[in-house]
Structure formats: structure tokens, C-alpha cells
Structure 1
């Protein structure tokens, strides 16, 4: 599935911001992320088609949460996310729908609806954060650092997401909930605390 123009534009703006904030050239980011310079240029101009693999590689290279690249900021005391209104980010074997970013204290948690297809294996070299997966239906194979675990409905797994890992659904499609947990960078915590404690 091709990402919509809104996803491409959001990623383009956030990627440019994060790369410039770090003082990285396209060539330097290409080396860190293992993504071609031409592809990065297309992503920054909102003409490329980002995949899960691309976004996770950028997250790893820039050491930031996925939602910092794809963030849409919900507001209000009640949040409802309709399946039909959510952009799908596809990879070799997984379709991800971002549902919510939760930030509290020194933690950020991203909530995703994750569907693992039977037509491919979703592999990751690793990225920032801790990964949590809860299987809703189907049988899910999770490989972490070369060790395979098979999960069924209701089963849960958590691991350091910086370790190479992968997902596969050998017996049919799998529906699961993916949570990505990050620690807030110290500088951001200090900024947040300063803003709270500043005189009004």
C-alpha cells in the first residue's frame, strides 16, 4: 500500500527538521541509516514512498521514536481512532497503523495495530526503544537475536528493539498490538520541566 500524501509530507518535514537539528548532511544520514542519498532526498521532498523498513532505519540512525517522524498530534480528553481514518505503513511482511503516542514523565509509548501477513518476513536491524507485542489472533513467530519464539492468541513478548529482530506468520495472517516504549531524552525532560516550573 502506498502511503498517502499526508504521511509523505509529515515525514518530509520531520525528517528535514531532525537532520538539520543534528547538523547532518544527506550523505552522513545515508551512511548512518543505510538508505541511499537519492531516496533520502525524495523522502525530504515528499516525493518518495516510505516503507516500514525505511522509517525504522531512520529511527535507528537518528535515535528517536518512530512517532517523531510520523507524528500527528491528537487533542482532547477522549481519543477515538477509526480504522478507516488511519494511514497504513507497509513493509515486507507487516502493515502498521499508528493509533496513539502517549508521553508521560520520562516515557513515550507508541501504540500500533499490527497485522503480519503470510507473504513475507518482516526483519529489522534494530531501532530505538523497547518493543512489546501482544497477539490477538493467529500464530506469530518472533525472532530476536537469532532466537525464535512462537506466540499464540493472548501471548506477549518484550525485548530491546535495538537487537536485530523479525516477525513472520507461517500459518496465516496475525493480528497483534505493538507498543514501542522510549525514554524521553534528558534535554527534552529538562525543557518540559522548565516549562512547567516557569512563572506564569
Structure 2
């Protein structure tokens, strides 16, 4: 299992990659997501721990599912049937 800091860093890189794919600047994206651009920078660099609500707004602004932002690791290995497991199966 990866450390929490590594998880935050990978989460931030995933957000950055999706944001760059949209072509939005930090300012544009922050306004669209309702997150201050400075906070977006801290999240993208793994220096902030965003709330679930913030992640939801970020995912919505990017047009992706929250699961698309979460780091993939040993906990998300494909199942035998080839389908991605539900990352929330621990809570079901």
C-alpha cells in the first residue's frame, strides 16, 4: 500500500492531467469548480488534503467521475472477470 503523502501526490497529478487535457487555466478551472486557484495548485502538487465535497466539485468541473481522479494501486487491481472493482466496495 502506498503512503498517504504518495496518494495525495498521485491524486494531484491525476487532477492536473485532466485539467491540462481540458485546456483550462488555473483561474478558469478554479472559478468553474468553485475552488480558489491557490487551493487548486496546492491540491495538484499534493500539498493539500481536499474534502470529498471539493473532489466532487473538481470532478464535476472536469466532466469525470471522482473515481477517475483517485490513484490506481493494488487496491484497484482488475478482477478475474476483467471488470474494475468498485473502489467503495469496503463500504457497501
Q: TM-score, normalised by structure 1?
A: 0.38
Partner Cα distance (2:11, 2:58) in 1: 10
Partner Cα distance (1:76, 1:60) in 2: 25
Partner of 2:14: 14
Show structure 1 runs of 5+ residues with no match.
79-100, 103-108, 115-176, 178-200
Runs of 4+ residues deviating >4 angstroms: none
| Aligned Cα root-mean-square deviation (Å) | 2.3
Bigger Rg, which one: 1
Partner Cα distance (1:77, 1:61) in 2: 30
Q: Between Structure 1 and Structure 2, which shows a larger proportion of helix residues?
A: 2
Q: Aligned in 2, Cα 1:56/1:110: closer, same or farther, shift over 3 Å?
A: farther
Partner Cα distance (1:77, 1:29) in 2: 35
Q: Aligned in 2, Cα 1:32/1:76: closer, same or farther, shift over 3 Å?
A: closer
**8 A contact 1:8–1:50 mirrored in 2:** no
Q: Aligned in 2, Cα 1:71/1:23: closer, same or farther, shift over 3 Å?
A: same
Q: Secondary structure at the match of 1:58?
A: helix
Partner Cα distance (1:110, 1:9) in 2: 22
**8 A contact 1:59–1:66 mirrored in 2:** yes
Partner Cα distance (2:23, 2:79) in 1: 37
Q: Between Structure 1 and Structure 2, which shows a larger proportion of strand residues?
A: 1
Residue 51 of structure 1, CA deviation: 1.4
Partner Cα distance (1:52, 1:21) in 2: 22
Partner Cα distance (1:29, 1:110) in 2: 28
Kindly provide the CA deviation profile for residues 59-86 of structure 1, in whole angstroms up to 9, marking residues without a partner as x. Answer: 11111011211131443655xxxxxxxx
Of 75, 96, 119, the match for 2:77: 75
**Structure with higher RCO (Cα < 8 A, 6+ apart):** 2
What is the aligned residue count? 85
Residue 7 of structure 1, CA deviation: 2.1
